[in-house]
Amino acid sequence: MKFIVLSGSPKGVKSVTLQYIRYIENAFPQHELKVIHVTQRIRRLETDRSAFDAVMHEIGQADGIFWATPVYYLLVPAGYKRFIELIAENGAQAVFVGKPAAILTTSVHFYDHTAHNYLHAICDDLEMRCLGHFSADMYDLLKAAERKRLEAFATLFFSEATGDVPLPKRFVLLNRPEFRYRPGRRVKSVDSGRHKVLMVTDAINPDSNLDRMYQHLRRCFNGCLGVIDLGALDIKGGCLGCLQCAYDNTCIYAGKDAFNAAYRDRIMRADILIWAGEMTDRYLSSRWKQFFDRSFFMGHTPSLSGKQVGMIISGPLGQNANLRQIIEAYMEMQRASLVGIVTDETGDSAVIDAQLIALARRLIRHADQQFVAPATFLGRAGTILFRDEIWGRLRFPFRADYGHYRRLGLFDFPQHHWPSRLRNALLLFLFRFPGLRRKINQRMKDEMIKPLQKYLRTH
């Protein structure tokens, strides 16, 4: 059988992910796996319709598809996202209907599940038969057990691709009712005071709901307000995955386009950020994705720490829990404060007006208080994962991150916490004796709140 591999790495043949495909190819010589480097070729596919059509023709002839991509910023690389957008823009969805699909990613398992959810939802939208997911760590191929697992995955995929296993959809179609937002004329604006407010938008369609929401929110602030239009900003291309930035945060594009300077000098210096974007398929636009990917030059450090962030999204975010989780996780990892997200999904202009002005007020109030909510599992688990990686196997090449993590005290390993280690040793020893265990258990609740009560008395 013949399968098409839609390869997502900007590194082309030097992709880590591609080595997993090569492994499958070697293990199953009876099948043909044709690789198309869609991210690497995205410029061409975007501008040359015959090149895009040739890819669609190949897919049409194939018995199944591998979506094979690295995870980039909790999703797929911007170029891959753009390719998915082109399928809809060029009306090529029919080519995919009924085709068996497998999703294969490599990553360090940081929000690989949100990338998989995204690709699975795309398969469901395209009415493909998504038969399986495989999320490999970058270096799993070095382990015999993982190679065996990969072979089992491919065996199952190849055998089920021929059959007609009935598969339930995981993601229902998004419902986007027609609605034109008409902002009210009167705006009671708020004073941004000493806070630097910066809006970042990709309001690509000038007369869209997003554009009108963003213009209305702009009017809600009096005082100096900066704007970055991602559509107009000189961004030469997506992240190349070259890791040149890992040494000292200097991107390979530095001095060649305007992105790095805009990020460092404007975004990182703002107090309040307002990000505006339109839902394009199951995420924001690929332009926004490029923004996130390119910010990788700042490494794994929380470069937006302490900022207050409001978002305006045009689209049914309430039906897209995966996107909301991506946004929340991103903000928590950044140690930024996600104050609120206003969408147009209520379908009521007056409600949206009220929510926009409320968002403006809340942003100022949060900035006054310098409030950043404590991280939930999303931020906490991600931070621990990065802590271990940057201290361990990723210390090289991420030299700059290692320095930042040390300075910021992010290497907070539990084995360095001597008071709890000593307490554990003592109490675990005493726990062995039934009489003492009974006594300790009797005091457990009191002892748990005792250290906290010390602070209650002082207020």
Ligand X SMILES: Cc1cc2nc3c(=O)[nH]c(=O)nc-3n(C[C@H](O)[C@H](O)[C@H](O)COP(=O)(O)O)c2cc1C
Task: Choose between 132 and 241: whose C-beta lies nearer to ligand X.
Answer: 241
How far apart are the C-alpha atoms of 422 and 336, rounded to whole Å? 35
Q: CB of 330: closest distance to ligand X in angstroms?
A: 9
Task: Choose between 11 and 216: whose C-beta lies nearer to ligand X.
Answer: 11
Task: Choose between 15 and 355: whose C-beta lies nearer to ligand X.
Answer: 15
Q: Which of 221, 334, 218, 206 has its CA nearest to residue 278?
A: 206
Integer CA distances (angstroms), 45 to 39, 51, 87, 95, 120, in order = 9, 6, 11, 16, 23
Q: CB of 75: closest distance to ligand X in angstroms?
A: 7
The packing angle between helices 349-369 and 209-220, to 10°, is 50
Q: CB of 172: closest distance to ligand X in angstroms?
A: 26
Q: CB of 368: closest distance to ligand X in angstroms?
A: 33
Task: Choose between 116 and 195: whose C-beta lies nearer to ligand X.
Answer: 116
How far apart are the C-alpha atoms of 240 and 39, rounded to whole Å? 10
Query: In this structure, what DSSP letter does residue 412 have?
Result: -
Task: Choose between 108 and 440: whose C-beta lies nearer to ligand X.
Answer: 108
Task: Choose between 324 and 361: whose C-beta lies nearer to ligand X.
Answer: 324
Backbone φ, ψ for residue 154 (5° rounding): -65, -40
Binding-site ranges for ligand X (CB under 6 A): 9, 11, 15-17, 70-74, 106-112, 138, 239, 241, 293, 296
Q: CB of 219: closest distance to ligand X in angstroms?
A: 35
Q: Which of 37, 43, 44, 34 has its CA nearest to residue 15?
A: 37
User: For the sheet containing 64-70, what is the strand order?
Assistant: 32-37, 2-7, 64-70, 100-107, 129-137
Give 284's contacts (C-beta < 8 A, 6+ positions apart): 202, 277, 278, 313, 323
Alpha helices in 48-111 (DSSP H): 49-61, 78-89
Q: CB of 135: closest distance to ligand X in angstroms?
A: 9
